[in-house]
Chain A
Amino acid sequence: MRSPNLRPRLRVLSVAAATAVTATTLAACGSDGPSGGSESLQVWTYQDGSSTIQEDFVEQFNETSDVQISLTQIPGENYQDRMRTAMGSSNAPDIFFNWGGGSIADFVDQDMLIDLTDHLADDPEFGDAFIPSILDAGALDGRYYGVPMRGVQPVILFYNQTLFDEAGVQPPGTLDDLFDLVETFQERDVTPAVLAGADPWTELMWLEYLLDRRGGADIFDRIRNGESEAWGEPAVLQAAQDAIDLVDAGAFGNNFRSVSYTTDGASTFFAQGEAAMHLMGSWEFANQLSNQEEFAENDLAWATFPEIDGGTGDPAALVGNPTNYWSVNAQVEDEKLDAALEFLKLHATQEYASALTANGDIPTTADAADLLDQAPTPDYARFQYEMVQNAPSFTLSWDQALPASQATPMINHIEELFSGQLSAQQFVDAMLDL
């Protein structure tokens, strides 16, 4: 029996189905353009101890601007992957935090970013505000695609002053000193240097400095410029062997491979006085200051990475992140572009530099030296500032400098090197194979 009511029911169904189709089609397509045509700018930043400054300045900007900024903060080590995925989709941010160099090279190749060179040149108050070498570190082929928006982030050898005093030792001047310290602290039942091996980029920091001291900064410069044969330089093999020797000597304890940085395992262990040293980016200071204030004020000290006897690298050379940059999506146009540029210019002001300084960061503006006394710890601020001023080279972290297709296997091989799955020679061979 066919129900006479079937027709109306069918019609309801087809309307429902049509709605479903429309809804899914819309969801699949998303909106055209970065922010769907509304008068707002989507800004993405990495969330950490310094991102409250971004909140403050976005709020300040929104008070006077017709075009409103909506800030998205993304925590965790996946920032890079998420940003890159978004840039390939229709939900790309208008302005986004990045590391310059390899982290934006693919976008520049695809003409996805606004070339800021002319804007920086047209407005001296904007363009000349930053330390030139740092502005240059974010440039590609001499064109500027980024504006510095964070403090300098060199990798620093942090140490526990109290533990060093108790043992009657000094921070290491050479690699041999470092091996002596490993013995000293092992005898005292203290882990010589905490290493968060569960996050292999912390192991990368050691290898970067070891190679810089062994063979100088230009070896990695050549690699970054596409000359991958430079992995075959003897200094790379020596640096990889140094890393193995440090592991074998027990410099990092026996279980560093399970220690993680992102869940604060390494920093807490260091702050508890269980480890004597911690090689980490300059942000570790702000991190300790906010999480373990007493330790940061009483025990925390800092030094440059030791030199290596017979190494040809300059002992003043630095590795790390010169700073972070804002880049602008090429799809931002007209009044939104004007607003975006106004927002970027805020970051060249004395006011922004003061906010960074007060947070414990070292600004990248040329006149930052005058502000250093306002820092919460002026000693640390001056140490860092001078370190950066005197550095003959500042190598961008390898994983940020290389394109993603090489950086990923490199990080895996470094992890294998530190965990004993690869010998120094096997590591070199694996890198030459990439």
Chain B
Amino acid sequence: MKRETIHTPRAGRPGIAWALPAVLFFVFFAAAPMGIVGYLSFTDWDGLSDPSWTGMDNWSKLWNDDRMRNAIWLSLLLTALTWLTQTPIVLLLGVWAAGRQRNRAVLSAIFFLPLLASSVALALLWRTIFDPNLGLAPDVANWFNLDSSDLLGSPTGAFVAILFVTGWQFVPFHTLIYQGGARNIPQSLYDAAAIDGAGTVRQFFHVTLPQLRNTIVTSTVLMVVGALTYFDTVLILTRGGPGDSTSIVPYLMYETGFRAFDLGYASAVAAALVITATGISLLLVRLTGFNRMRSTREGM
């Protein structure tokens, strides 16, 4: 059947004025600062005197900077590992939490608690837990005959700690997204699958997973962009250390800008990060066909 072109009735169409407040806020708090950062990335500025124009200096330094290379590698690694470790967990948890039994509601409520605390408070909490002499983590590790006493002091340990703490913090959020997605799947699909003889596992792979396609894309984009811009946890938990081993791009940007006060170069790092994160999320959206907005209920 040929689809009818939808004509929006003129009365119902909101005027441009409705968008004005949002547009103005966007211009003042997002577009303008980005423009300024773009300008600053071509200058040398210590934050006190006037910026002086240096052309492409900061940008060419960006290509040849070992610390920057290390930071990009760490950021990409963190992003990939974040996706790989969190996605299976949040997918299963979200689908499980979408059920209606009473105990699930209570457990879910407890489970979502980390979502309510600020990342700074959580990072401070975990830093204390990881203290090798006074914290809990070394004791727990001892029970399993592991040595975690120097967790934050070893390059790998510190990286794993960040992966763990940010995961612990953001899993509830993504679980919530999946829970919402899973609850939207029509029961009739499961009923039909059951009649066809599909068990729980087949139902999961042939009904739940395909129906969650858009949810997966949304969660993935949020995870990727989030992991590329993690900052507060790193600042408090490891301060990029030991050495440079957890110095991911946003942290390097902060350290360059607000510790060494090389704000021109920090702006170049920031601009590069914006370009990369935008590029990656656009690419994800395009590759997954998310931009076509195809409904998972088509054909129903």
Contacts and interface: CB of A to CB of B under 8 A. Distances in A.
A263 B21 contact: no
Interface stretch (A16-24, A123-131, A306-314, A389-397): A16-24
B168 interface: no
Given A81-B258, A263-B131, A269-B133, A110 B48 contact: yes
Interface string A360-374: 000000000000000
Contacts of A28: 28
A100 interface: no
Contacts of A200: 241
Given A85-B47, A415-B242, A421-B242, A258 B131 contact: yes
A337 interface: no
Contacts of A405: 260-262
A408 B243 CA distance: 11
B154 interface: yes
B135 to A, nearest CB: 8
B133 A274 contact: yes
A10 B78 CA distance: 48
A417 to B, nearest CB: 9
B131 A24 contact: no
Contacts of B132: 255, 258-259
Contact of A254 (B17, B150, B261): B150
A422 B29 CA distance: 43
A16 B21 contact: yes
A88 interface: yes
Interface string A1-30: 111001000100110110011001100100
A284 interface: no
Contacts of B152: 198, 257-258
A186 to B, nearest CB: 16
A320 interface: no
A20 B49 CA distance: 31
B205 interface: no
A106 B153 contact: no
B243 A106 contact: no
Interface residues of A, number: 50
A257 B131 contact: no
B82 to A, nearest CB: 23
Interface of A: 1-3, 6, 10, 13-14, 16-17, 20-21, 24-25, 28, 81, 84-85, 87-88, 106-107, 109-110, 112, 197-198, 200, 254-260, 263, 265, 268-269, 274, 404-405, 407-409, 412, 415-416, 419, 421-422
28 contacts: A6-B15, A13-B18, A17-B21, A20-B21, A24-B24, A28-B28, A84-B261, A87-B48, A112-B48, A197-B153, A255-B132, A255-B149, A257-B153, A257-B154, A258-B130, A258-B132, A259-B131, A265-B131, A268-B134, A274-B133, A404-B260, A407-B260, A408-B255, A408-B260, A412-B240, A415-B242, A416-B244, A421-B243
Interface of B: 9-11, 15, 17-18, 20-21, 24-25, 28-29, 46-49, 124, 127-128, 130-134, 138, 149-155, 240-245, 255, 258-262
Given A274-B133, A422-B243, 7 more contacts: A85-B258, A107-B48, A257-B150, A263-B131, A268-B134, A404-B260, A421-B243
